[in-house]
């Protein structure tokens, strides 16, 4: 698949002159053709679930790097077994959820993935290994032995394995409603999301520290990277922090607001790029948005003044309304960051689900004729998601600044 | 059956979002028609309000996903 791209670029200039198209429209055309070809090759390469004997072959193929995996895939692509029905919902949920590996292409045991380190705090101490030790098994059938303990992975969660396998060959016990009853070690693995978080944090540091330093060297004049970042920083200061928090107090909260704004924006954008190292859905993970909203909650309430707490616990209403007003106000303290958490999580996850669903259309209809339509829709949705990425970062920061500003209540004279 | 009802619930929530954002857009259009020079500010505030209404609709989507 990669070689066709190079051939295309070789023919670029001549084909362009031949058809007399403008550069941009020609690029769009070849790009959509390329995407349709990728769609068909994926369709041809799809297999059903294999038995245990091909596990070994797939494991060797996956561990030997790109070229070997392509050969293994091509060899099997021609001789596909009966395809399992395409489960769009499962695929989509798998792709927006966290994972112990970066999935590049292929499916099940024949897939090519980049394994990530698994770090577990077990009864016997710290255990770490690469997630390729599980050999693409997600059903609890492959046991990994480390430090005298046995682990299996089911639906991307790691459990202590049972001594014997059940009738499906899995080393876990299923309880009511398919819930797994095995114990779990504490999972501190570098999963996709952790990798993306560290990478985006590192990238933000790489971006901002040199920019900040350059101000000293150039005597306060923004040059280069600082010149690029300054309008964004000033935007956060003048349109978000100053109007909502007030002239006298805003400077203390600028670091948090800037961090939230750029962190959320960068991670939203990273989630939209489908290639390693970018494809992690970090801000669509409710634990991450919970943490961000929790920071807002803490900062709002720690920096609040007496007037704020008076309004909550001693509101200016008749005494008989207190049993209603005080609980409502207390719920209000918690519901505002809760809304922040849900808003960011739902917007980003919903965007990813929509894009994945539109791409899955090709596989649901099992026809290559759908791909121009699907690709056009996906392109359109990606543009909207670009807007949503920046907008959700802005909304989160704006509402955080608003809550911080509202937490400082000046006592007016009319009471 | 619960999944079907959850899907219907999500659809109903989207009706509310559509109506809300439609109204926001309509008022923004009226305001821009009245005062074309304020178009930039009006547009910014329209996008912000639309994102907040969207947030409410996505609450419902999250609940439907939890149920189903």
Sequence spans of domains, chain A: 13-85, 113-190, 193-406
Tally of domains within chain B: 1
Interface contact flag, A346 B48, Cβ < 8 Å: no
HEC string of chain A equals CHHHHHHHHHHHHHHHHHHCCCHHHHHHHHHHHHHHHHHHHHHHHCCCCCCCHHHHHHHHHHHCCHHHHHHHHHHHHHCCCCCCCCCHHHHHHHHHCCCCEEEEECCHHHCEEEECEEEEEECCEEEEEEHHHHCCCCECCCCEEECCEEEEEECCEEEECCCCCCCCCCCCCECHHHCECCCCCEECCCCHHHHHHHHHHHHHHHHHHHHHHHHHHCCCCCCCHHHHHHHHHHHHHHHHHHHHHCCCCHHHHHHHHHHHHHHHHHHHHHHHCCCCCCCCCCCCCHHHHHHHHHHHHHHHHHCCCHHHHHHHHCCCCCHHHHHHHHHHHHHHHHHHHHHHHHHHHHHHHHHHHHHHHHHHHHHHHCCHHHHHHHHHHHHHHHHHHHHHHHHHHHHHHHHHHHHHHHCCCCCCCCC
User: Residue B53 belongs to what domain range?
Assistant: 2-67
What's the confidence (pLDDT) of residue A401?
95
**What pLDDT score was predicted for residue A114?**
86
Q: What is the pLDDT of residue B68?
A: 73
Better-scored residue on pLDDT, A63 or B49 = B49
Q: What is the rounded average pLDDT for all residues in chain A?
A: 80
* pLDDT for residue A262 is more than 60: yes
Contact across the interface for A342 and B47, Cβ inside 8 Å: no
More confident residue, A28 or A44: A28
Instruction: Give the mean model confidence (pLDDT) for residues B21-34.
Output: 95
pTM above 0.80, yes or no: no
Query: Is pLDDT of A40 > 70?
Result: no
Q: What is the pLDDT of residue B57?
A: 87
Nearest CA in chain B to A350: B58
CB contact under 8 A, B48 and A350: no
Question: What distance in Å separates residue A346's CA from the closest CA in chain B?
Answer: 6
Residue of B nearest to A344 (CA): B55
Higher pLDDT, A29 or A133: A133
Q: Do A342 and B58 touch (CB under 8 A)?
A: yes
Q: Do B47 and A398 touch (CB under 8 A)?
A: no
Of B48, B51, B55, the CB nearest to A339: B55
Which tens digits make up the pLDDT trace of A85-94? 778 888 888 8
Pick the more confident residue, A24 or A228: A228
Which of chain A's residues have a Cβ under 8 Å away from the Cβ of B52?
Answer: 343, 395
Assign residue B42 the CATH number of its domain. 1.20.20.10
């Amino acid at each position: 698949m990669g070689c066709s791209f190079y051939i295309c670029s070789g023919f670029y200039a001549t084909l362009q002159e031949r058809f007399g198209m403008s550069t941009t429209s020609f690029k769009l055309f070849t790009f959509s053709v390329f995407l349709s070809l990728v769609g068909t090759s994926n369709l041809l390469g799809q297999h059903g679930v294999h038995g245990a004997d091909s596990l070994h072959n797939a494991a060797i193929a996956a561990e030997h790097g790109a070229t070997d995996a392509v050969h293994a895939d091509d060899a099997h692509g021609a001789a596909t077994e009966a395809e399992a029905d395409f489960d769009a919902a499962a695929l989509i949920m798998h792709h927006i959820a966290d994972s112990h590996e970066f999935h590049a292409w292929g499916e099940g045991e024949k897939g090519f993935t980049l394994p990530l380190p698994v770090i577990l705090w077990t009864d016997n101490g710290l255990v770490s290994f690469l997630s390729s030790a599980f050999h693409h098994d997600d059903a609890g059938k492959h046991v990994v032995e480390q430090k005298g303990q046995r682990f299996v992975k089911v639906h991307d969660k790691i459990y202590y394995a049972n001594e014997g396998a059940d009738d499906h060959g899995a080393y876990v016990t299923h309880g009511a409603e398919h819930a797994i009853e095995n114990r779990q070690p504490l999972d501190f693995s570098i999963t996709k999301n952790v990798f993306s978080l560290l990478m985006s944090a590192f990238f933000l540091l790489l971006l901002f520290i040199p920019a900040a330093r350059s101000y000293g060297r150039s005597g306060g004049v923004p040059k280069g990277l600082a010149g690029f970042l300054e309008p964004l920083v000033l935007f956060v200061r003048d349109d978000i922090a100053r109007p909502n928090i007030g002239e006298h107090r805003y400077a203390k909260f600028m670091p948090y607001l800037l961090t939230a704004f750029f962190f959320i924006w960068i991670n939203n954008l990273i989630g939209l790029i489908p290639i390693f190292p970018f494809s992690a859905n970090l801000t669509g993970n409710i634990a991450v948005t919970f943490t961000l909203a929790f920071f807002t909650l803490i900062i709002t309430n720690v920096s609040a003044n007496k007037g704020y707490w008076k309004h909550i616990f001693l509101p200016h209403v008749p005494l008989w309304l207190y049993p209603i007003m005080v609980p409502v106000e207390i719920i209000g303290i918690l519901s505002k960051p809760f809304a922040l958490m849900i808003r960011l999580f739902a917007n980003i996850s919903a965007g990813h689900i929509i894009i994945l669903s539109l791409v899955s259309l090709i596989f649901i209809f099992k026809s290559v004729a759908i791909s121009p339509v699907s690709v056009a829709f996906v392109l359109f949705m990606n543009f909207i998601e670009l807007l949503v990425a920046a907008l959700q970062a802005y909304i989160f920061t704006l509402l955080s600044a608003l809550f911080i500003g509202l937490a400082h209540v000046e006592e007016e004279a009319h009471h | 059956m619960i999944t079907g009802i959850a899907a219907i619930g999500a659809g109903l929530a989207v009706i509310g979002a559509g109506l809300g954002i439609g109204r926001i857009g309509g008022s923004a259009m009226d305001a821009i028609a009245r005062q074309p020079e304020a178009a930039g500010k009006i547009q910014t505030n329209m996008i912000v309000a639309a994102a907040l209404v969207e947030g409410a609709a996505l609450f419902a989507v999250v609940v439907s996903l939890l149920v189903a």
